[in-house]
Structure 1
Amino acid sequence: MTRYDIRLRIAYHYPGHVKDARHILRVTPREIGGQRLERASLEIDPVPAELASEPDFFGNACEHLLIHQPHDELAIELKVRLAVERPAPDLGMTPSVAAISALAAAARDPGGDSPIHFLGGGRLVAPSPEIGAYLRETLAPDAPVAEAMLALARRIKAEFRFQSGVSTITTTVAETFEQRRGVCQDFSHLMIAGLRACGLPARYASGFLRTEPPPGRPRLEGADAMHAWVEVWTGEDVGWMGFDPTNGCLASEDHVLVAVGRDYGDVAPIDGVLITSGPQKHRHSVDMVEVVDPR
């Protein structure tokens, strides 16, 4: 088991006063997959006139807030202590790639965790036949699906370059595929678009990544902000399993899951409606450190 203290800070500066605003926050880690919250605090400035907690369709913790007073800045700070216990799974014991595709096609469960919601398009990502053909080079139909997914994550890590500043929220998977570079969001969207074209359920996972790795291990890419990876459905027995194409690895105890969805559009840390003029300035930082002495 590993314990972490995590601090997330999100700040906006607006060029003109915002009269009022409605926001949805998706920043609190989920208590699922070996994760357990020990304590959490959320500070918002200006203080909301209304604040309500309600999970969304996919089971993500959401804070709905309404700010009435005029403001030109918004500051959000989340502090959590969380325990993670996620033993390494036996990848070879998962069903084959072909079996998972058949099981997903036959699924009828309408719940938010069902694979049926992660086979088609979302708000930002649709299945891509071109990327699907690229992924099939690594997806032997008779291979255990988890082993195939890890090989695929490692291939994306090897063939695509992590580079900040070359993409935005509007960057398409086709552009990422052509440029062979981007950040964790781009690589996750690309992997999802290709897997869905292959009939394999894949969903976008948003969360935190250990900032400083244990001694002797390399620092992972994407640890200074909220991170993204991919969860793939591996059948009813094991369920969803995480794979990180940015770092070419399994989602392990280094990864803390906050939200899942069809793509980034379902899991944005902050979403909402406000009226102002001119471009906004945005700051976003994450500190995640292991708690050596949990007292």
Structure 2
Amino acid sequence: MKSAEYQIVHETSYRYSEPVALCQNQLRMRPRNHSHLVCHSCEVAITPTPTSLHQHTDYFGNVVDSFSIESLHQSLQVRVASRVTVSIPSDENLSGAPDWRELIGVIRRGEQPADWLASEYTFASRRIELTDMFADYARKVMQPHASVVDAVQALTVQINNDFRYDTQATDVNTSTEEAFIQKAGVCQDFAHIQIACLRSLGLAVRYVSGYLRTYPPPGKPRLVGCDESHAWIGVYAGEKIGWVDFDPTNAVRAGTDHIPMCLGRDYDDISPMRGIVMGGGKPILKVSVDVLPLDSSPTA
């Protein structure tokens, strides 16, 4: 098992051209404890002070902060500071991964509790349609490989090769089918495309939101606040192994540089901040993310 510890600060700021009379928002920015991550601490600060603030755990196990501000304001700041440890299985732990074709049958039959719990991630969701177009693309790439880990890794690399990372090609409302056809998009699109491909075959796949540790150019200082939110996928690899994460945007199996925060069927389940406002005119949004490693290197 490999692990790494981080301090993460995510700041979101809105400035409005006109006063806001009322805002109601939900935050999904708190790290959740699961097999790949332990959250040691998390503090959420909201300015102005909310009129009401409630916390609950959603269906997928993500911690949600719901708040409202019921007084006039022309700015909103949300700061979330967390300390976490990320762990991933070593390559040796993945050597016994099942054949992906056999795994599809196992999931469908729900032979073990973990199998039928994973099966809910085999279905279509709001942003994921299951089609022959996606299945055919994945099957062609995965066919030569037996192990589900090797097959999904091959698909991860193929998507990275075939699709162009382009921040202007899509927006938050672009459908997965549109991104697939134009072969371009951002990390959210890459993740949705790979989920659609694998679910169309019958595998269980979930959407993962989080952060990616970045490295400054050689000889350059590390810049504070210049990291970004990221998205990738988790694939169910059977009861023995559990979930394994892959990052199609970077053509890699997720490692300790990937810091998972929330899990869902697709982006709509886990968008970091969503809500409504009354008034406000034209808002100006500023987001700053800082991922600070607390240890010098991952440990084996």
Question: Same fold per TM (> 0.5)?
Answer: yes
- 2:18–2:282 CA contact under 8 A, matched in 1: no
Instruction: Quote the residue 2:85 is aligned against.
Output: 83
1:55-98 per-position Cα deviation (integer Å, ceiling 9, x unaligned): 11010111111211122221111112222232324433111111
Task: Determine helix, strand or coil for the equivalent of 1:126.
Answer: coil
- Percentage of matched positions with identical amino acids: 33
1:125-156 per-position Cα deviation (integer Å, ceiling 9, x unaligned): 22232122111111228611111111111111
- Structure 1 position 59 matched with structure 2 position 61: yes
- Superposed displacement of residue 285, structure 1: 2.2
Task: Determine helix, strand or coil for the equivalent of 2:89.
Answer: coil
The 10-residue stretch of structure 1 (170-179 or 140-149) with the greater mean CA deviation from structure 2 = 140-149
Instruction: Quote the residue 1:140 is aligned against.
Output: 143
Letter of the 2:287 counterpart:
H
- 1:104–1:116 CA contact under 8 A, matched in 2: yes
Task: Determine helix, strand or coil for the equivalent of 1:85.
Answer: strand
- Superposed displacement of residue 291, structure 1: 1.5
- 2:176–2:193 CA contact under 8 A, matched in 1: yes
Where does structure 1 lack aligned partners over 5 or more consecutive residues? Answer: 216-222
Structure 1 residue ranges, 4+ long, deviating more than 6 angstroms after superposition = 108-111
- Structure 1 position 196 matched with structure 2 position 199: yes
Instruction: Quote the residue 1:206 is aligned against.
Output: 209
Where does structure 2 lack aligned partners over 5 or more consecutive residues? Answer: 219-225
Listed as ranges, the matches of 1:128-277 within 5 Å are 128-140=131-143, 143-212=146-215, 224-276=227-279
The number of aligned residues is 285
- Superposed displacement of residue 281, structure 1: 2.6
Task: Determine helix, strand or coil for the equivalent of 1:16.
Answer: strand
The 10-residue stretch of structure 1 (273-282 or 27-36) with the greater mean CA deviation from structure 2 = 273-282
In structure 2, how many angstroms separate the alpha carbons of the residues matched to 1:141 and 1:292?
A: 39
In structure 1, how many angstroms separate the alpha carbons of the residues matched to 2:39 and 2:62?
A: 14
Query: Whose strand fraction is larger, Structure 1's or Structure 2's?
Result: 2
In structure 1, how many angstroms separate the alpha carbons of the residues matched to 2:98 and 2:217?
A: 32
- 2:213–2:227 CA contact under 8 A, matched in 1: no
Task: Determine helix, strand or coil for the equivalent of 1:11.
Answer: strand
TM-score normalised to structure 2 length: 0.87
Instruction: Quote the residue 2:75 is aligned against.
Output: 73
- Structure 1 position 100 matched with structure 2 position 130: no
- Superposed displacement of residue 230, structure 1: 0.6
